[in-house]
DNA sequence: TTCAAGTTGTAATTTTACTACATTTGGTGT
DNA sequence: ACACCAAATGTAGTAAAATTACAACTTGAA
């Protein structure tokens, strides 16, 4: 944990002299890491052992160790924190906040991914007779994106926005078909029903959804992503991004499993797009 | 500059004993920052002054200062690097690589966003009579997502996948309409044509695309995102994510500009979804 | 071979951090 | 209000760590 934050938080628990030290350090941490314990003591107007005791209170071995921690905190430069957008934010502020909290969410999501399930699902997908991607609302565009990716793989892949089409498609499923259902909450009724229908028709159902949700319970495999969602905004933001990244992971796993020849095929698909594009100068 | 890299680069310029020190430090920098000069000297099988000289050669004031620099380098650890997926990667490896390179790309994208243009575009969007989002291929799902977001704002918003529908829709544009075109490369012919059609019909055209591309040249405003794309994979990955995040930024700017009452309205829109969902236990 | 420049080590010195103990402060109960 | 105790702080001495000065060794060119 960041030692600067730690100082700020524990500030109340410090003694009078320790508070002085904390103040001086927080006011100018850059100076602090380049000072000896004597200089810092003088700056804080306390004795050297007080500074030493201050360091130990923060669970460091002593002053040099404390400086090391401090140096690391400063280097980190507040990595990516989930800072919420505020009403009075300037465009510059909300732009940075959104990018940063998206990155922070991806970090959290990354840690929550169960790699074993990813591997198993990639297995399934490579062997599937037909792959379907369904999602509703904000997750529809994620399914749409998945279609785009897997379509390039030259495998039978299906995507519908329409609930009835989704249902009908699942009715026609058979063993060997994989249905991937995407929903952040996992509580959308119609999607849960679709999971049931697909399973009744022997399809394997993969859920990209919240763990232990009603949808998750109907799935054969669940890829759950723990994403802290900014509920102030009333719309999904980070969860979609995490879902998309997971789709990227699955797609990548798919191509890796299929091997070299398959990737050459991908390149061919991409080359066919060339006719629809303006050439880049110098190509 | 990162001192670890500096050690690696200068390695040739070091003397025999200094190389020993460099080796030991590079092999286990975590240990190094927690060792005294004596221990490190013993580990490297050299004398203490040699270690000290080594530190000075790297433009530090001495051993303690060197440790500080080292600690900072380790903390920095180049947070998220764009590491390419390798053929022999395990599921664990490629999952982490993809998440990390996505985060790295977002960081690059964040720095390349022109906030002034963002602000101007938010202006335009809030005043628009009608907003259209068009993209093709991988960018179609981004446009789809934008539809989803802006639809909640209760503004006239349009999205088509079909090229002909896109063209017809642009034919019917008039002053006050905003057309947002999404394309990573900015070289897709039909999208460039759509930009021209929209502009001919007095619409304002915003491009979320590569700077100085043919598409960018046809746009009234360009939101360019510099995203390092992994060309090995032959499919767009990070660029979509950056585009989506930018859409989030625009949507957020939109709601902020519209003020408090508007956000209450958003909440109402969200609440109407409740009927279609299973309640969360404890709600 | 010899000398000089560069490299490395030894030992002394200085700086820095830490410990043990003494003093002070502030609060509590009588 | 006073005595007493515990916590907090400082002083002075000690140990450890880093640095310096200098001596010894290596290496390569004349």
* DSSP state string for A3-67: HHHHHHHHGGGS-HHHHHHHHHHHH-HHHHHTS-HHHHHHHHTS-HHHHHHHHHHTT-SSHHHHH
Q: Which helix (H) or strand (E) covers residue A179, if one does?
A: strand A177-183
- Measured CA to CA, the distance from residue B84 to residue B108 in angstroms comes to 16
Residue A251 in contact with partner chain B when CB distance is under 8 A: yes
Give B156's pLDDT tier (boundaries 50, 70, 90). very high
Q: What is the pLDDT of residue B129?
A: 93
A-facing residues of B in 17-76 (CB < 8 A) are 33-34, 64-65, 67-69, 71-76
Measured between alpha carbons, how far is residue B11 from residues A268, B4, B54, B277 in Å? 44, 11, 11, 62
Answer yes or no: is pLDDT of B2 > 80.
no
Strand D at less than 7 A from CB of A18: yes
Give B266's pLDDT tier (boundaries 50, 70, 90). low
- Nucleotides on strand C lying under 7 Å from protein C-beta: 6-11, 15-20
The DSSP result for chain B, as a single string, is: --HHHHHHHHGGGS-HHHHHHHHHHHH-HHHHHTS-HHHHHHHHTS-HHHHHHHHHHTT-SSHHHHHHHHHHHHHHS-SS--PPP-TT--HHHHHHHHHHHHHHHHHHHHHH--HHHHHHHHHHHHH-SEEEEEE-THHHHHHHHHHHHHHTTTS-EEE-SSHHHHHHHHHT--TTEEEEEEESSS-BHHHHHHHHHHHHTT-EEEEEE-TTSHHHHH-SEEEE------GGGSS--HHHHHHHHHHHHHHHHHHHHH-HHHHHHHHHHHHHGGGGBPPPTT-
First-to-last CA distance in chain B? 52
Q: What is the pLDDT of residue B85?
A: 78
- Helix, strand, coil shares, percent, chain A, to 5: 60, 10, 30
Q: What is the pLDDT of residue B76?
A: 61
Q: What is the pLDDT of residue A135?
A: 95
Give B260's pLDDT tier (boundaries 50, 70, 90). low
Q: What is the pLDDT of residue A113?
A: 92
- Measured CA to CA, the distance from residue B34 to residue B53 in angstroms comes to 19
Strand D at less than 7 A from CB of A156: no
Answer yes or no: is pLDDT of B208 > 70.
yes
Strand C at less than 7 A from CB of A48: yes
Q: What is the pLDDT of residue A88?
A: 81
> Which stretch of A233-237, A263-267, B102-106, B114-118 has the lowest confidence by average pLDDT?
A233-237
- Gap from A278 CA to chain B (nearest CA, Å): 5
Strand C at less than 7 A from CB of B22: no
Q: Which helix (H) or strand (E) covers residue A133, if one does?
A: strand A130-135
Q: Nearest CA to B106 among B251, B249, B256? A: B249
The residue of chain A nearest to residue B277, with distances taken between CA atoms, is A188
B-facing residues of A in 193-222 (CB < 8 A) are 214
- Crossing angle between the packed helical segments A260-272 and A238-258, to the nearest 10 degrees: 120
Does domain A117-276 fall under CATH 1.10.10.10? My reply is no
User: What stretch(es) of chain B map to CATH 3.40.50.10490?
Assistant: 115-276
- Gap from B5 CA to chain A (nearest CA, Å): 15
Residue A262 in contact with partner chain B when CB distance is under 8 A: no
- Measured CA to CA, the distance from residue A258 to residue A251 in angstroms comes to 11
Percent residues over pLDDT 90 in chain B: 38
Contact criterion met (CB below 8 Å) for A71 and B65 = no
First-to-last CA distance in chain A? 49
Q: What is the pLDDT of residue B261?
A: 65
- Gap from A129 CA to chain B (nearest CA, Å): 22
- Measured CA to CA, the distance from residue B176 to residue B233 in angstroms comes to 40
CA of A257 vs C1' of C15, distance in Å? 61
- Measured CA to CA, the distance from residue A188 to residue A195 in angstroms comes to 11
The number of angstroms, rounded, from the C-alpha of A1 to the middle of its chain's C-alpha atoms is 20
Answer yes or no: is pLDDT of B80 > 70.
no
In this prediction, the residues of chain A whose per-residue pLDDT falls under 50 are 282-283
Strand D at less than 7 A from CB of B37: yes
- Measured CA to CA, the distance from residue B213 to residue B202 in angstroms comes to 21
Tell which phi-psi region holds residue B4, choosing left (phi > 0), alpha (psi between -120 and 50) or beta: alpha
CB atoms within 10 A of CB A78: 11
Residues of chain B positioned with their CB less than 8 A from the CB of A79: 79
Answer yes or no: is pLDDT of B282 > 50.
no
User: What stretch(es) of chain A map to CATH 3.40.50.10490?
Assistant: 117-276
Residues of chain A positioned with their CB less than 8 A from the CB of B115: 91-92, 95
CA dihedral (A111, A117, A118, A124) in degrees, to 10, reads -170
User: What stretch(es) of chain B map to CATH 1.10.10.10?
Assistant: 3-76
User: Domain B115-276 has what CATH class?
Assistant: alpha beta
Q: Nearest CA to A223 among A178, A157, A259? A: A178
Give B283's pLDDT tier (boundaries 50, 70, 90). very low
Average pLDDT for B214-224: 93
Q: What is the largest CA-CA distance in chain B?
A: 81
- Which residue is listed with tokens 């001192």? B3
Does domain A3-76 fall under CATH 3.40.630.30? My reply is no
Q: Which helix (H) or strand (E) covers residue A138, if one does?
A: helix A138-151
pLDDT in tens, B10-41: 777 788 888 888 888 888 888 888 888 888 88
The residue of chain B nearest to residue A36, with distances taken between CA atoms, is B64
């Amino acid at each position: 944990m960041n030692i600067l934050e730690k100082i700020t938080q524990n500030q109340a628990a410090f003694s009078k002299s320790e508070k002085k030290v904390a103040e001086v350090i927080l006011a100018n941490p850059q100076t602090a890491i380049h000072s000896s314990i004597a200089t810092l003591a003088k700056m804080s107007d306390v004795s050297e052992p007080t500074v030493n005791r201050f360091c130990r209170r923060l669970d460091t071995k002593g002053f040099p160790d404390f400086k090391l921690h401090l140096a690391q905190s400063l280097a980190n430069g507040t990595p990516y924190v989930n800072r919420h957008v505020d009403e009075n934010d300037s465009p510059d502020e909300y732009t940075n906040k959104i990018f940063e909290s998206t990155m922070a969410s991806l970090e959290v999501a990354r840690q929550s991914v169960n790699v074993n399930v990813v591997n198993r699902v990639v297995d399934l997908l490579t062997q599937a007779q037909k792959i379907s991607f369904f999602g509703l609302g904000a997750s529809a565009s994620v399914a749409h994106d998945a279609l785009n990716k897997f379509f390039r793989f030259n495998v039978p892949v299906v995507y519908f926005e329409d609930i009835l089409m989704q249902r009908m498609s699942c009715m026609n499923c058979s063993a060997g078909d994989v249905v991937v259902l995407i929903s952040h909450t996992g509580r959308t009724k119609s999607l849960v029903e679709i999971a049931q229908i697909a399973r009744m028709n022997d399809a394997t159902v993969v859920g990209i959804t919240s763990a232990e949700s009603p949808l998750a319970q109907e799935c054969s495999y669940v890829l759950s992503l723990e994403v802290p969602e900014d509920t102030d905004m009333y719309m999904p933001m980070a969860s979609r991004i995490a879902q998309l990244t997971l789709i990227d992971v699955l797609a990548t796993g798919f191509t890796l499993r299929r091997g070299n020849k398959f990737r050459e095929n991908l390149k061919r698909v991409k080359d066919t797009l060339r006719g629809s594009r303006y050439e880049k100068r110098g190509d």
